[in-house]
Amino acid sequence: MVANGWVATRPGCRNRGVYRGNRMRIAIDGPAGAGKSTVARAVADALGWEYLDSGAMYRAAALNGSEHTDIRFDGGRVLADGEDVTEAIRTPAVTAAASQLAGDPEKRKVLIAAQRALVSQGDWVIEGRDAATGIAPDAEVKVFLTASPQERARRRAAQEGRPVEEVQREQAARDAADDTLGRSVLTPAPGAVEIDTTGLSLDEVVRRVADLA
């Protein structure tokens, strides 16, 4: 609310009664398979905001073998040093390399700086493991998405056409690896709204998140 009682409104912001300054960020964290990417992308579309897939940056840097890779997003495509790597960063080898790179504190610093630079202007939905702790600790809205381990593995297995048990085993190993070095993969950031997506439709989750904005 501004001093004279006039209430500012913003396009794409449902909660029109609250003055939000001149920009907004929704930071979405949570473990692999909780539905972060799908939800974050859909929320960004629903609100007409930009979407930052921070995991794609770790993947692109891992693919290129350097955290200093110039990474950009262009209409849903991921560009690394100008080259389209959208599909190339989704292989199991890159998944493993990205997890390793993400465990290096010095390399993380470089990527977090690049992520902060990207979201320094405009309205963003930021998705990651440290969106609300590392990239944008001052985000106006913080969301922590969870789902039961079985549900997370089931979704991934369906996506990748693989056995659920195998995916669940890998998922447990990845959670443990991603939960090191101060990265709050399994713990919500202070002030984050926790949403358990088990049994909820995508639309229901998107509505709950967008309603926080």
Cβ nearer to ligand DC, comparing 13 with 34: 34
Nearest distance in Å: CB 172, ligand DC: 14
Q: How far is the CB of 83 from ligand DC (least distance, A)?
A: 18
Q: Which is nearer to ligand DC, 13 or 56 (CB)?
A: 56
Backbone angles phi, psi at 44, to 5 degrees: -60, -45
Residue tagged 């262009």 (tokens): 74
Q: How far is the CB of 149 from ligand DC (least distance, A)?
A: 16
- Measure the CA–CA gap between 131 and 143, rounded to whole angstroms: 9
**Token code pair at residue 147:** 């789902």
Tokens of 140: 């106006």
3-state class of 193 per DSSP? strand
Closer CB to ligand DC, 24 or 32, in the complex: 32
For ligand DC, the closer CB: 56 or 210:
56
Q: Whole-number minimum distance, CB 163 to ligand DC, in Å? A: 20
At position 115, the amino acid (one-letter code) is: Q
Distance CA(15)–CA(17), nearest Å, equals 6
How far apart, in whole angstroms, are the C-alpha atoms of residue 143 and residue 161? Answer: 29
Element (H, E) at 16: none
Which residues sit at the interface with ligand DC, rule CB under 6 A? 32, 54-56, 58-59, 98-99, 102, 128-130, 178, 183
Q: 12 or 191: whose CB is closer to ligand DC?
A: 191
CB of 19 to ligand DC, least distance (A): 29
